[in-house]
Amino acid sequence: MSLVPGVTETLYGSRIGPLLAWTLARVTGVLPFSLVEMLLAVWISGRLALAARGIVNAARGRRRWRNAVGAGALAAAGDLGIGLALFYFLWGLGYARPPAEERLALPVGETTSTEVVAALAGELVDAVNVTYRELHGSDDAGAPTVVEDERGLEDAIEYGWRRLASELELGAPRTWHWVLTKRPVASPLLHRMGLSGFYSPFTGEANVSASVPAAYRAHTIAHEKAHQRGVQPEDEANFFGFLAGLRAPHPVARYSSLLFAQRQLLGTLLRAGEEETARALIDRRLPGVQRDVDDLNAYWSRHRGAAQRLTRRVNDAYLKTNRVEGGVLSYGGSVDLILAWARSRGGTLAGERSGPGAG
């Protein structure tokens, strides 16, 4: 299927895949908890119980150690085979779709000067400042931004996604109403693993860690909803999530999306050696905005360690196995899509508006 992306897009990416995901999401959405989290816990418990029984039998001489180990390995291989088959049928085939820049005819790959990146980054710094003032009525609220109406934020992001799907003609069921994201009980574990959320193709659930700071949570919700709608690559999920957040009639959603893009472009300037320019733009942030950035950085640094490094390696291998060049580095590829999107709109993001009836 990877050799014929056009066929994959027509038969799977545009129709079968999203319909399967939407159906699963609607079925599991009636549950107030993360079903995949519960199923995973049951599976791990069952496998551990089976392993323990094998060890006991082998220790008592009722079974040879070789047979016990072989039975366990065979069971694990069977689970892996079934899991992989379901994964590709329910979601994984979408990795063979044409890239977003091709589907949207975006001018990705054209050389962008650091001056253009700096100008767009400056536009985003100013836009984030304006949105922060809309949220708090001041330049510094004295504490990190919080979300008081989580359900209202979710509904707004869902509206933003439906509007984006209609605007870009992404087709049904992407324009249909989907369901709320889930907050796993294991959110502290996700934090330790360096994850803000994950999508389960087996249950159609978009899961978001309950502990992610509000300044990043809204973008994370929009990102996982992108995966739910059949957007597989991480850079594309970041990009579409950014656009959906801008169209959500909620100031926190717009703030989170703009801050995400701002940090991406400032990072691009720093990597290009334009540290003085980037620092000057960072200094233009409102004190409250910088407080939110510092809070987010502190959140991720609190649990840096072996768990995060292991998760990163596993995720890197998973992405490369599915033909995502760069592995985990592909997350940052959304900056190219954002730049191409701005280039296709006269070199600016100022025309992006949120709310009903916005142009």
| % residues pLDDT > 70 (the chain) | 82
pLDDT of 224 above 60:
yes
What φ, ψ does residue 358 adopt, rounded to 5°? -70, 150
> At 42, is the pLDDT very low, low, confident or very high (cuts 50, 70, 90)?
very high
Which pLDDT does position 329 carry in this prediction? 43
Q: How far apart are the C-alpha atoms of 130 and 111, rounded to whole Å?
A: 30
pTM score, whole prediction: 0.88
> At 351, is the pLDDT very low, low, confident or very high (cuts 50, 70, 90)?
low
Strand, coil or helix: 207: strand
Q: How far apart are the C-alpha atoms of 225 and 237, rounded to whole Å?
A: 8
- Tens digits of residue pLDDT in 235-269: 999 999 999 999 999 999 999 999 999 999 999 99
Which pLDDT does position 76 carry in this prediction? 73
- Tens digits of residue pLDDT in 158-180: 999 999 999 999 888 888 889 99
* Rounded (5°) CA angle 101-281-273: 70
CB contact set of 163 (below 8 Å; sequence gap of 6+): 244, 247
Q: Which residue has the tokens 């299927």?
A: 1
In this prediction, residues 75-101 reach a mean pLDDT of 87
In this prediction, residues 3-16 reach a mean pLDDT of 73
CB contact set of 37 (below 8 Å; sequence gap of 6+): 182, 184, 185, 186, 207
**Mean pLDDT score across all residues of the chain:** 85
> At 144, is the pLDDT very low, low, confident or very high (cuts 50, 70, 90)?
very high
